[in-house]
Amino acid sequence: MRPRPSKLPHVGTTVFSVVSQLAAEVGAVNLGQGFPDFAPPTELEAALARAVRDGKNQYVPVGGIAPLREAIATGIADRLGVVRDPATEVTVTAGGSEGIFDAITAIVTAGDEVLVLDPSYDLYAPVVALAGGWTNRVPLDPVTFAIDWDRVAAAITPRTRLVIVNSPHNPTGAMWTMSDVARLADLAEAHDLLVISDEVYEHIVFDGRPHVSALAHPGLAARSVVISSFGKSFHCTGWRLGAVVAPPALTRELRKVHQYNTFGAFAPAQWAAAEVLRSATGHLAALGAFYQAKRDRFAAGLARTRFRPLPVAGAYFQLVDYAAISDAPDDAFVRDLCVAHGVAGIPLSPFYAEPPAGQRLIRLCFAKTDATLDEALARLALV
Ligand code: GLN
């Protein structure tokens, strides 16, 4: 067989998998890949077991089971005061990732340009490439990670079709504001752009600042695909359960991809999620405070190390500056930290087309038990 060119020549195994494997090999405390090391709510575990026992084990409708879509629409109405139709505007996917894959695949055609804001999650650009599109990566402010809308506006060309935004932001923990939303709405309207708003950390927000959803701005919502993650919100990232909210015409196109991709997310998890979204509403309301306590515990401990923590507004990642410790590039530093000091983190450079010169930042996940965080801090204090 003759060798075929790779469709993704610049992509290897994701940094998250590489770091998790290295952490397992050397027995490091794994603050790399973003997942909780504690259990989902017990009522969710029980609901999943019950769903399997009750025979909820066959294919589901392509949009997802109706009770889950209804619970998602009810949550949006309660939190944002926005009415969305669960039948034609909500789709359940196998994780937020599948929702993003389906949306990009449904929207991007060959030669389209897609604007992505760097640092950006590593899924976006490769999926745009698979769809035949071209990603134009606009840097966020290197200090505050705010969106520079003048740079975004300057990057728009007649071929630009889609903008991908993410708040709360992975990897930086920054959050956008209502004025960001308004600015994007104006640009999208003026240039007839569509938007994917990756809001998978929507419930993990701190210091009383509300999550600002693209759904809350009617003009932007009319051109947006908004991504949610049940796994992020209910401590079960391995269940692969997410949701997409988009206007009917976009939802129709997205479901065409979804039906030939996974067809449906794991059925018993959909039943369990529907039950818990209805009954355990307090869980989501308490999630910000739950993670804020972890953020604060971790940042207080870091103050006793040579790592300098950056401010975190949302999501469950802490950026730390290691310039006082080493001048090594972030990938080499992460490897050394894992092998020699037993703490696994994620370098920031894979989130960029071109990382800012001299940046010495790594990402540490604080979605961990206090015992795990304390063990990591004890090891970091020795670095
Ligand atoms: N979203 C997770 C993170 O940022 C990674 C998920 C994955 O490994 N695919 O750490």
Provide CB contacts within 8 A for 68, sequence distance 6+: 92, 243, 270, 271, 273, 274, 277
Residues with CB under 6 A from ligand 1: 14, 16, 33-34, 170
Residue nearest (by alpha carbon) to ligand 1 atom 3: 34
255 plus 106 within the same structural domain: yes
Q: What's the domain count of the chain?
A: 2
For residue 73, being part of any structural domain is answered with: yes
Please give the Cα distance from 24 to 22 (Å, whole number): 5
For residue 5, being part of any structural domain is answered with: no
199 plus 250 within the same structural domain: yes
Distance 16 CA to ligand 1 centre (A): 6
Domain finish residue from 280, 307, 336: 280
Domain finish residue from 256, 280, 304: 280
Over its length of 383 residues, how does the chain's per-residue pLDDT go in tens digits? 999 999 999 899 999 999 999 999 999 999 999 999 999 999 999 999 999 999 999 999 999 999 999 999 999 999 999 999 999 999 999 999 999 999 999 999 999 999 999 999 999 999 999 999 999 999 999 999 999 999 999 999 999 999 999 999 999 999 999 999 999 999 999 999 999 999 999 999 999 999 999 999 999 999 999 999 999 999 999 999 999 999 999 999 999 999 999 999 999 999 999 999 998 879 999 999 999 999 999 999 999 999 999 999 999 999 999 999 999 999 999 999 999 999 999 999 999 999 999 999 999 999 999 999 999 999 999 99
Distance 261 CA to ligand 1 centre (A): 20
Query: Which of 15, 22, 35, 365 most suits a substitution to test ligand 1, by most atoms within 8 Å of the C-beta?
Result: 35
Q: What does pTM read for this prediction?
A: 0.97
For residue 258, being part of any structural domain is answered with: yes
71 plus 25 within the same structural domain: no
For residue 35, being part of any structural domain is answered with: yes
Distance 183 CA to ligand 1 centre (A): 29
Give residue for tokens 């949302």.
314
What does each C-alpha distance from 236 to 95, 291, 368 come to in angstroms? 10, 15, 13
Closest C-alpha to 164, from 200, 122, 127, 114: 114
In angstroms, the first-to-last Cα distance of the chain is 50
| Buried-state track 229-246, b at ≥16 Cβ within 10 A, e below 16 | bbbbbbbbbebbbbbbbb
pLDDT of 281 reads: 78
The answer to whether 90 touches 69, Cβ cutoff 8 Å, is yes
Domain finish residue from 263, 280, 297: 280
Q: Which atom of ligand 1 is nearest to the CA of 121?
A: 4
Closest C-alpha to 123, from 149, 106, 102: 102
CA–centroid distance for 309 within its chain = 21
Q: Which atom of ligand 1 is nearest to the CA of 97?
A: 9
125 plus 169 within the same structural domain: yes
For residue 164, being part of any structural domain is answered with: yes
Distance 368 CA to ligand 1 centre (A): 15
197 plus 152 within the same structural domain: yes
275 plus 312 within the same structural domain: no
Please give the Cα distance from 127 to 261 (Å, whole number): 13
| Buried-state track 87-117, b at ≥16 Cβ within 10 A, e below 16 | ebbbbbbbbbbbbbbbbbbbbbeeebbbbbb
Q: Which atom of ligand 1 is nearest to the CA of 346?
A: 10
The domain in which residue 147 lies consists of 56-280
pLDDT of 280 reads: 80
Residue nearest (by alpha carbon) to ligand 1 atom 9: 16
For residue 48, being part of any structural domain is answered with: no
Query: Which of 33, 123, 318 most suits a substitution to test ligand 1, by most atoms within 8 Å of the C-beta?
Result: 33
Assign residue 171 the CATH number of its domain: 3.40.640.10
268 plus 306 within the same structural domain: no
272 plus 291 within the same structural domain: no
184 plus 226 within the same structural domain: yes
Distance 222 CA to ligand 1 centre (A): 29
Q: Which atom of ligand 1 is nearest to the CA of 170?
A: 4
CA angle 271, 273, 277 (to 5 degrees): 125
204 plus 161 within the same structural domain: yes
Q: Which atom of ligand 1 is nearest to the CA of 17?
A: 8
164 plus 240 within the same structural domain: yes
For residue 45, being part of any structural domain is answered with: no
Distance 33 CA to ligand 1 centre (A): 5
| CB atoms closer than 10 angstroms to residue 281 | 14
Please give the Cα distance from 103 to 162 (Å, whole number): 10
Strand-pair category, 242-245 with 90-93: antiparallel
Assign residue 375 the CATH number of its domain: 3.90.1150.10
Q: Which atom of ligand 1 is nearest to the CA of 171?
A: 4
Residue nearest (by alpha carbon) to ligand 1 atom 4: 34
Distance 34 CA to ligand 1 centre (A): 5
Q: Which atom of ligand 1 is nearest to the CA of 123?
A: 9
Q: Which residues pair with 162 in a beta bridge?
A: 114, 194
Please give the Cα distance from 84 to 141 (Å, whole number): 34
For residue 8, being part of any structural domain is answered with: no
218 plus 322 within the same structural domain: no
For residue 140, what is the DSSP state? Answer: P
